[in-house]
Amino acid sequence: MNSEPAPYKNRPDAESWRMVTKEDRTAFAVIFYRYSGLLFKFGLTLVGDEELVKDAIQDFFIYMWDHRENIVEIRHFRTYLLTAFRRFVLRAAARRERSFGSLENIEQLSANPRHLSNKFDVHDDKSEWDRIMSEEINRLPKRLKEVVFLKFYQGLTYEEITAVTSLNYQVVRNTVHRAVKQLRSRMLERSGRK
């Protein structure tokens, strides 16, 4: 499914989900294709195992379909999916006795960290900057990597990050601040501009 069928195009997610609760398989396929890429990227920030994340996405959507009658009203659909999938993939990783947060290569996210540049005074070659930034993001502790992904790669608000991670609002703000501070310090150190 490369494009959404006409009746489903631009339909709000909450409305599509209501159709899913009435056993509309096409609406469910649309939701799957809208969100499977996001869940894959997010899952990698949590467990770093591509196969585990792919399996978890399949199992998660099967679970969603099987329990559609019980998941009636979803107001903030993306936040709900991220929150539910986070628990789902971490449980899957625990069952397989895998270590968490072992993302080896942040480039697997196929997201562009350039929009972080407004947090830094960077005028150098952008491709080199992207490479260095990716390395530095990869060096962050798991929790910092997770909030960087949610805040800067997915554009979630602090409130949405709070809902996804179950962290206190102020903790989320502090964690984002700490991540940016660490990245800024490391970037300045690497560029020799202490």
> pLDDT of 127-173, one tens digit each?
666 777 777 787 888 888 888 888 888 888 888 888 888 888 888 88
Q: Single out the residue in 37, 66, 95 at which a domain terminates.
A: 95
User: Residue 73 corresponds to which amino acid?
Assistant: E
Residue-averaged pLDDT of the chain: 77
The CA distance from 170 to 148, in Å, is 15
Question: Where do runs of H (alpha helix) occur along 67-168?
Answer: 77-95, 126-139, 142-148, 158-165
Count CB-CB contacts under 10 A for residue 193: 8
Q: What percent of the chain is predicted at pLDDT more than 70?
A: 75
The helix, strand and coil proportions of the chain, stated in percent and rounded to the nearest 5, come to 70, 0, 30
Q: Single out the residue in 69, 95, 121 at which a domain terminates.
A: 95
The CA distance from 95 to 7, in Å, is 40
Question: What is residue 151's DSSP assignment?
Answer: I
pLDDT for res 167:
84
Q: Single out the residue in 95, 124, 148 at which a domain terminates.
A: 95
Residues 121, 145 within the same domain:
yes
